[in-house]
Structure 1
């Protein structure tokens, strides 16, 4: 099924650029069970595996569009992801409110490129999701440059995890997940060498927030989504720059189901953000990056 967006951006209030679908219609989950247990405890999440229908119902009820994705980390985790075809089919069913992103495992080499092209051209995904720590790869390494070149040619944005990691948190050795792969400076190399590729750095990048701020200011093709953290805990440097140098670079995101949009929006309303900047963060910047205008 080929996805076509039916979102009327003039009628929605916001766009959540970071929503996870963690289970498919067959009940297969995106990661091994220990990761769900650990992240549920870390985030104090009430529901880790909502269906695509329930996600659509929630976001439609608050007049907010949502970018939905999963993660393919088959090589690192030894576990196949939930079905991207099912995800796109669900988003197509709810194309008035949902936007599908694809995912591939960079460590599968040429197969990753072939699969990315399939997802873009045959399924109609509107971007791609990566998680260097969970997928176990350094995005700045030359072996992954053919993938970035292919994605630049396809012309869709990517969202890539940065900073602290809730996956594997509290487990011995973090279940083998290495935080350094999520240093935003590794994405700076990619942004510099592939200027036609729009890169969304996911989350406030603690403990590398200043690096992320600098990259987003320096590179026209780099943005930051504000997911994974309650706004009341945003780093001071990020909050300060939100009203000026980063006002056109920040995107509303929750990390649902780990953080609910109601909780995120409530806390965001309490921040000292200028009135003219709020709509940029909540919707306008995402409309531009996602090509929805």
Structure 2
């Protein structure tokens, strides 16, 4: 399987940590995703307990973010969120509303109790966007994120895949709402994402989170590409660690 990390191909956790060490990565945030089968894609249904066990066995290396299925196929979203944060000690949750049985957008009022719970529990929410976020490319438009950010100013929202290809619109939302954090990850190197790099030299440096989108690329390859952007050293210290520490409540 050309291009995929050996640890992924071999399904090897020890190889994964070896790859992280080789890349010089000292801490990783493991963002889990739970969604039902859709559009020919298999279901992502690994229990959050599995991620929690992995994190508890490697606390010096891993931080866990729970996957929550807002459609309810894998349990009640509110109950699963509370359990993930209070019992499993997850640092946040991840949702894919357009891939769920609800087939809806992030600003659907049915999701608002979940956002309210995240504010109550003081944890961020990661929302999947990007060209494969739903059946239509329009499903990834940042306007849905903007409405949530406006209605929940105390909720930290991490935008997975950075709403690519709507990059300029995404910048507008982030500029307007300081509680929105952009994680373009693999899409940072796609056409149109140059605006993220330019914005990182200014206002976005406090709202940009580095991500690898493992296993899309090897950990070292993705990090090397990011470092090759030649951003100011102060920007790298924020985007590679300090911003994420602030969002997920980690020691700096």
- The 1:275/1:78 distance shift into structure 2, 3 A limit, reads closer
Change in 2 beyond 3 A, CA 1:286/1:114: same
SS in 1 for 2:148: helix
In structure 2, relative to structure 1, the CA distance for the partners of 1:239 and 1:105 (3 Å cut) is same
Deviations 1:240-267 (A, max 9, x none): 1110111111111000111222111211
C-alpha separation in 2, matches of 1:240 and 1:114: 41
* Number of equivalences: 243
* TM superposition shift of 1:179: 3.3
Q: Deviations over 1:8-33 (max 9, x none)?
A: xxxxxxxxxxxxxxxxxxxxxxxxxx
Q: Does 1:244 align with 2:190?
A: no
* Structure-to-structure mapping, 1:30-49, within 5 angstroms: 44-46=3-5, 48=8
Task: Provide the residue aligned with 2:155 in structure 1.
Answer: 197
What is the deviation of 1:181? 2.6
Distance 1:196 1:282 in 2: 23
Report the counterpart of residue 5 of structure 1 in structure 2.
none
Give the match's secondary structure for 2:233: coil
| Shift in Å, 1:69 | 2.7
Bigger relative contact order (CA 8 A; separation at least 6): 1
Unaligned runs of 5+ in 2: none
Q: CA RMSD in A?
A: 2.5
TM-score normalised by L of structure 2? 0.86
Q: Is the 8 A contact 2:5 2:218 kept in 1?
A: no
In structure 1, list runs of 5 or more residues that go unmatched.
1-39, 168-175
In structure 1, distance between residues paired with 2:192 and 2:236: 15
* Alpha-carbon distance, 1:45 to partner: 2.9
Alignment of 1:164-243 (within 5 A): 164-165=131-132, 177-229=135-187, 231=189, 235-243=193-201
Give the drift of 1:99: 0.5
Please tell me whether the aligned partners of residues 34 and 68 of structure 2 are also in contact (alpha carbons under 8 angstroms): yes
Runs of 4+, deviation exceeding 6 Å: none
Contact kept? 1:133, 1:180, Cα under 8 Å: no
Match of 1:9 in 2: none
| 1:39-79, Cα deviation, whole Å (9 max, x unpaired) | x89xx535556344443343244233111132111375784
Name the counterpart of 1:82.
46
SS at match of 2:225: helix
CA distance in 1, matches of 2:154, 2:16: 32
